[in-house]
Amino acid sequence: GEDVEQSLFLSVREGDSSVINCTYTDSSSTYLYWYKQEPGAGLQLLTYIFSNMDMKQDQRLTVLLNKKDKHLSLRIADTQTGDSAIYFCAERMDTGRRALTFGSGTRLQVQP
Amino acid sequence: DGGITQSPKYLFRKEGQNVTLSCEQNLNHDAMYWYRQDPGQGLRLIYYSQIVNDFQKGDIAEGYSVSREKKESFPLTVTSAQKNPTAFYLCASSIVDNEQFFGPGTRLTVL
């Protein structure tokens, strides 16, 4: 079945690195996504990774995928106050429904 | 400017009323989706459509209805059968099997 889990809250100091973790249960997931949501707004796609990759880097963002453990992480280097938001991971499978299944989101608070 | 628009931004409904939320996209995407977000929770799929004149129920379709008469439009009606409709509603679109792009959302409150 489909289930995506994230920790609810993370607090870091400005300039530190943030690591947001996500676990998923469906081994047939082909794409895994990270979205950012600011208060009262829609979701903004940050990055995604294909299931045959281990790592993807895009400027301050690094995504790591451990397919054996079904574990996905998002690392934000040099975290800024503007990074404060809720971060969602989501999985998509290439069979059946093809819609995204989202985690419950991790609220990142960046302290100055 | 290409993108997804949702209207209205805020919507108030009285008990027993049906209301319709608008979602329009000019990205030429075939697929469109409606999600519901409750405080402190992730997004739950209400309905989705991968092609004009066709749509499928998601995980929480009861009390909702949709239509897909045009490629660029996917309105969601919240009916009186939906017992707890107060939530934030998000529309998304995509090329089929590609990443989804989201609109700004509609916050629905039942009075």
What does the mean pLDDT of chain A come to? 90
Kindly state whether A97 is in contact with chain B, defined as any CB-CB distance less than 8 angstroms. yes
Mutant choice from A38, A46, A48, A98 vs B, greatest count of B C-beta within 10 A: A98
Kindly state whether A98 is in contact with chain B, defined as any CB-CB distance less than 8 angstroms. yes
Q: Collect all residues with Cβ–Cβ distance below 8 Å to A94 and sequence separation of at least 6.
A: A28, A30, B97
Interval A56-73: pLDDT, tens: 999 999 999 998 899 999
Nearest to A73 by CA among A101, A45, A54, A100: A54
In this structure, which amino acid lies at residue A24? Answer: Y
**3-state helix vs strand vs coil in chain B, percent to 5:** 0, 50, 50
Q: A–B: how many Cβ contacts below 8 A?
A: 54
Cα separation, A88 vs A44, whole angstroms: 10
Cα separation, A93 vs A29, whole angstroms: 4
Residues of A in contact with B104 (CB under 8 A): 41-42
B28-47 residues touching A, CB cutoff 8 A: 33, 35, 40-45
Cα separation, A102 vs B69, whole angstroms: 28
Interval B45-93: pLDDT, tens: 999 999 999 999 999 999 999 999 999 999 999 998 888 999 999 999 9
Cβ-defined contact of A40 to B96 (cutoff 8 Å): no
* pLDDT over threshold 80, residue A36: yes
Cα separation, B44 vs B62, whole angstroms: 12
Kindly state whether A48 is in contact with chain B, defined as any CB-CB distance less than 8 angstroms. yes
Shortest Cα distance, chain A CAs vs residue B44, angstroms: 8
Interval B2-20: pLDDT, tens: 699 999 999 998 888 999 9
Q: What percent of chain A has pLDDT over 90?
A: 68
Q: Is the dihedral of CA B84, B78, A106, A102 positive or negative?
A: positive
Mutant choice from B4, B9, B43 vs A, greatest count of A C-beta within 10 A: B43
Q: Residue A3 — pLDDT band, cuts 50, 70, 90?
A: confident
Cα separation, A81 vs B23, whole angstroms: 31
Shortest Cα distance, chain B CAs vs residue A1, angstroms: 13
Using CA atoms, how far residue A110 sits from A5, A12, B4, B106, in Å, is 22, 5, 29, 27
Spatial contact of B90 and B34, defined as CB atoms under 8 Å apart: yes
pLDDT (0 to 100) of residue B2: 67
pLDDT (0 to 100) of residue B1: 59
Kindly state whether B102 is in contact with chain A, defined as any CB-CB distance less than 8 angstroms. yes
Kindly state whether B61 is in contact with chain A, defined as any CB-CB distance less than 8 angstroms. no
Task: Of A42-46, A49-53, B64-68, give the range with the top mean pLDDT.
Answer: B64-68
Q: What are phi and psi of A29, to 5 degrees?
A: -60, 135
Q: What is the DSSP letter of B81?
A: T
Q: Residue A1 — pLDDT band, cuts 50, 70, 90?
A: very low
pLDDT (0 to 100) of residue B38: 92
Q: Residue A103 — pLDDT band, cuts 50, 70, 90?
A: very high
